[in-house]
């Protein structure tokens, strides 16, 4: 089984009565785009799902560029603008045949508002950096543009509260790999229905990621949590392999994927060591997350077109919908 290390999904937050965006007065963009939102939905209903316009923020990053490649294959329309750091503002980059101009923080709102006027059925895809999660979501909500948030980090409580108050459509998930989400959901179901099934068993976990990943895999943590519910004993010590030589020689990572991979091994053994189980899941590259992101975009476009009452979704919702490519 091939999956990537990350958090499964985050539960939807309860409704909030207060709107943090209006605490300092309602902006022009809030009024303007809230008033035009209903017309935007009507216009988008005539748009073919495979021609959904998307703005990929973080377009020249590893995940952003992977999303553009997958979106090209799916026939989505890549819009020629993206957000980036101030030092890159004004640059035009070529990403898999798409010329995209980078805009810095100081011009984000005017650029996004103008683009949304021109492409009222657009959806933003965010693969930026954790520190920008809340600021970017706040901007998308002010302008009223729907978005898919694949970036991890930020204050997730504030994120959900902001989106809920704005009534903007969004898919929010730090894990976009469909198969990853399905596997972890199955693990959670097993842990819930068969608690203690592995009582007394011990667990050893190894995980290998690119050298730049300093933290422990979120997927590993989620799987370990499920095993603990099944009664497994674990000392919370995960063997993290980050040395490229060890990754090639001991783990078996292909050299071309040393800069982007996720190999996990979970080894369980019975108290008397006569029985053992091994769970292994490996991912090379980032295409699994990019393809899931495209599915999330198409899913969200469908929800907007149908004027769905629910507006905040995660990848479990995308999986339950079915009809994925």
- Residues annotated as part of the active site: 209, 213
What CA–CA distance (Å, rounded) separates 19 from 37?
A: 18
Q: At what angle do helices 178-193 and 287-305 cross, to 10 degrees?
A: 90
Question: Residue 171: CA atoms inside 13 Å, Cβ hemisphere, count?
Answer: 29
Q: Which residues lie below 8 Å from residue 63, measured CB to CB, with a gap of 6+?
A: 127, 150, 286, 289, 290
CA dist 183 to 1, 194, 226, Å?
A: 9, 16, 12
CB 302 within 8 A of CB 121: no
Residue 19's closest CA among 173, 158, 134?
158
Full DSSP string of 90-130: T-EEEETTEEEEEE-GGGHHHHHHHHHHH-TT-EEEE-S-G
- The dihedral sign for the CA sequence 83, 85, 91, 94: negative
């Amino acid at each position: 089984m091939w999956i990537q290390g990350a958090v499964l999904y985050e539960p939807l937050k309860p409704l909030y009565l207060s709107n943090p965006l209006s605490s300092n007065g309602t902006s022009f963009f809030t009024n303007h785009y809230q008033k035009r939102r209903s017309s935007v939905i009507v216009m988008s209903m005539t748009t073919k799902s495979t021609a959904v316009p998307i703005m990929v923020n973080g377009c020249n990053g590893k995940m952003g560029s992977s999303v553009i490649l997958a979106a090209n294959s799916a026939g989505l329309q890549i819009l020629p603008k993206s957000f980036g750091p101030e030092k890159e503002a004004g640059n035009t980059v070529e990403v898999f045949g798409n010329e995209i101009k980078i805009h810095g923080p100081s011009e984000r709102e005017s650029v996004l508002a103008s683009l949304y006027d021109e492409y009222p059925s657009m959806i933003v895809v965010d693969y930026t950096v954790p520190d920008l999660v809340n600021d970017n979501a706040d901007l998308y909500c002010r302008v009223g543009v729907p978005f898919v948030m694949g970036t991890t980090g930020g204050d997730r409580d504030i994120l959900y509260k902001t989106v809920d108050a704005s009534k903007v459509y969004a898919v929010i998930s730090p894990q976009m790999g469909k198969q990853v989400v399905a596997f972890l959901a199955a693990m959670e179901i097993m842990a819930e229905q068969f608690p203690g099934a592995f009582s007394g068993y011990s667990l050893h976990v190894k995980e290998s990621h690119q050298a730049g990943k300093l933290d422990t895999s979120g997927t590993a943590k989620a799987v370990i949590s499920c095993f603990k519910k099944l009664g497994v004993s674990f000392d919370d010590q995960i063997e993290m392999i980050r040395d490229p030589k060890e990754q090639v020689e001991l783990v078996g990572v292909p050299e071309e994927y040393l800069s982007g991979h996720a190999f996990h091994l979970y080894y369980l053994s019975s108290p008397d060591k006569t029985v053992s189980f091994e769970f292994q899941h490996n991912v090379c590259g980032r295409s699994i997350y990019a393809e899931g992101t495209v599915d999330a975009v198409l899913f969200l476009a469908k929800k907007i077109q149908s004027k769905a009452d629910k507006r905040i979704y995660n990848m479990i919702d995308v999986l339950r919908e079915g009809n994925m490519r």
